[in-house]
Amino acid sequence: MKNQTAIIVGGASGLGLTTAKLMISHGATRIGLIDRNEQLLGVSADALRALGAEVETAVADISRAETAHRGFNEIAGKLGRIHVLVNSAAIYPRRPILEITDEEWDLENAINVKGTYHMMVAAVLHMRQHVNAPEVTGRIVNVTSVDAFKAHPQNAHYAATKAAVVSLTKSFAQECAKDQILVNSVAPAGFATDRARELGFLPELAKASALGRAAEPVEMAEWIVMMASSRNTYATGENVVVSGGYIYV
């Protein structure tokens, strides 16, 4: 990640913020954060600046193309060429399969699918301006989930959106190969965030995992950074499952 510039969507907290910190430790010098929580964005940006990075932020509604693109371009206008986009923004409501409302379906799709799509389009339009064949032009990493591959009757709408993102990843990889933009995804099982602890499913996950524990966020961030880094020169359209033996795909 030496001297790389990355935009992380959903970067104000959780896995996104952990990924930003890890990128800086691997040499990234400029980080853009996009999130809907303006107050948290400011706090997180200051924490990253304290690590030595130049940081810009944008508050954006990624469910709409206009505002998603505006947020990306606002940061790119300040930081210059963007080498990496990480899509880690998602919502994770739990609801029994027979009780999901139209409003909940619409919100899940708006953030998890449309939001990811809009940010990928914004990144591709920017990155293809910097084609330098045969070198890699840019890298996009989407955070999916093992729920895309495993039955989840308590969270079927979330699982469906993550399966959609896996499909988007593969389609974009094919479309963008000519521009040397590598597009991949990382599919974690649940990991130990404050939200996961609040929902209370970590003990069940640990019991079902071959390793007998849930992952720490940084263990997932390592795979995101790997796929986003200059060490990845060939993988595209791949979905890397990182589940500690919870599921084998």
Closest residue by Cα to residue 226 from 13, 26, 12: 26
DSSP 168: H
Q: Helices H, strands E: what count in the chain? A: 9, 7
Which residue is listed with tokens 């980080």?
31
Q: Which backbone phi and psi does 87 adopt, to 5 degrees?
A: -100, 100
How many CB atoms lie under 10 A from the CB of residue 204? 11
Tokens, residue 104? 């909940």
Calpha distance 165→141 (Å, rounded): 11
User: In terms of C-beta density within 10 A (0-12 exposed, 13-18 middle, 19 or more buried), how is residue 153 classed?
Assistant: exposed
Calpha distance 122→221 (Å, rounded): 23
Q: Which of 92, 117, 158, 234 is catalytic?
A: 158
3-state helix, strand, coil in the chain (%, to 5): 50, 15, 35
Calpha distance 60→38 (Å, rounded): 9
The answer to whether 220 and 191 are in contact (CB under 8 A) is: yes
Specify whether 248 is catalytic.
Answer: no
Measured CA to CA in angstroms, residue 70 lies from 89, 119, 170, 173, 208 at distances of 17, 10, 25, 23, 42
The answer to whether 240 and 184 are in contact (CB under 8 A) is: yes
Catalytic residues: 158
